[in-house]
Amino acid sequence: SQTIHQWPATLVQPVGSPLSLECTVEGTSNPNLYWYRQAAGRGLQLLFYSIGIDQISSEVPQNLSASRPQDRQFILSSKKLLLSDSGFYLCASSPRTNTGELFFGEGSRLTVL
Amino acid sequence: AQSVTQPDIHITVSEGASLELRCNYSYGATPYLFWYVQSPGQGLQLLLKYFSGDTLVQGIKGFEAEFKRSQSSFNLRKPSVHWSDAAEYFCAVASWKNNDMRFGAGTRLTVKP
């Protein structure tokens, strides 16, 4: 099965500062990759998904961007954080064979002050 | 696009009692349906999934779910709840083509001793 590594696990950043959350995947090749945000009591919101290197779809207009410089690396970034960017960010991966199942990382908690 | 509704935000049951968590989905074709569980501060773990075939699917930890196309539902059940089942539960729907899994808002389960 796949293993998803996310870091940092927690992050406290001031408004207007940049952001970089990193996710790497082990145990599979050419996976589909996802970034979700989980706000308190609001479930998971799909932010970005990627079917290959430099192939990224954005689901909602926002202050964030994503990049996939390598097959098993997915990065979530922002140039200037907003208060509303606070939340729990989850990276997920699904195999190319598309069983539909997602494998999740442990998450990164971002607090913007 | 597909969507998921979990009508119950929070459910409390006594240990040993039966459990049913509701999930309704909206999707034009045959969906891929999932239930995930999330412990506090953790990523999500797959409990079970439905792709096709038998509409009653068995998962880990003694959970099962039944796909009812006529009701657009995929309710999660467990005959006897354990204190360790306290967590947040997410229903999700995915389509084969889009590779984008949509989650419900989640149901938080509290287990009383």
Classified by CATH at the fold level, domain B3-112 comes out as Immunoglobulin-like (2.60.40)
Q: What is the pLDDT of residue B49?
A: 92
Select the residue from A38, A42, A103 to test the B interface by mutation, using most B Cβ atoms within 10 A. A38
**Which helix (H) or strand (E) covers residue A13, if one does?**
strand A10-13
Q: What is the pLDDT of residue B91?
A: 95
CB of B29 within 8 Å of a chain A CB? The answer is no
Q: What is the pLDDT of residue A73?
A: 96
Rg for chain A, CA atoms, rounded: 13
Reported as a single tens digit per residue, the pLDDT across B23-52 is 999 987 778 899 999 988 888 899 999 988
Task: Kindly report the nearest CA distance between residue B77 and chain A, in angstroms.
Answer: 20
| Regions in chain A scoring below 50 on pLDDT | none
Summary mean pLDDT of chain B: 91
List the domain boundaries for chain B.
Answer: 3-112
Q: Do B105 and A42 touch (CB under 8 A)?
A: yes
Reported as a single tens digit per residue, the pLDDT across A51-67 is 899 899 887 777 899 99
| Distance (Å, whole) CA B27 – CA B62 | 28
Task: Kindly report the nearest CA distance between residue B78 and chain A, in angstroms.
Answer: 21
Q: For A3-112, CATH number?
A: 2.60.40.10
Q: What is the pLDDT of residue A22?
A: 97
Cis peptide before A31 (omega within 30 of 0): no
Q: What is the pLDDT of residue B99?
A: 64
List the domain boundaries for chain A.
Answer: 3-112
| Distance (Å, whole) CA B75 – CA A97 | 26
Instruction: Give, for all 113 residues of chain B, the pLDDT tens digit.
Output: 778 999 999 999 999 999 999 999 998 777 889 999 998 888 889 999 998 888 999 999 999 999 999 999 999 999 999 999 999 999 999 876 556 788 899 999 999 99
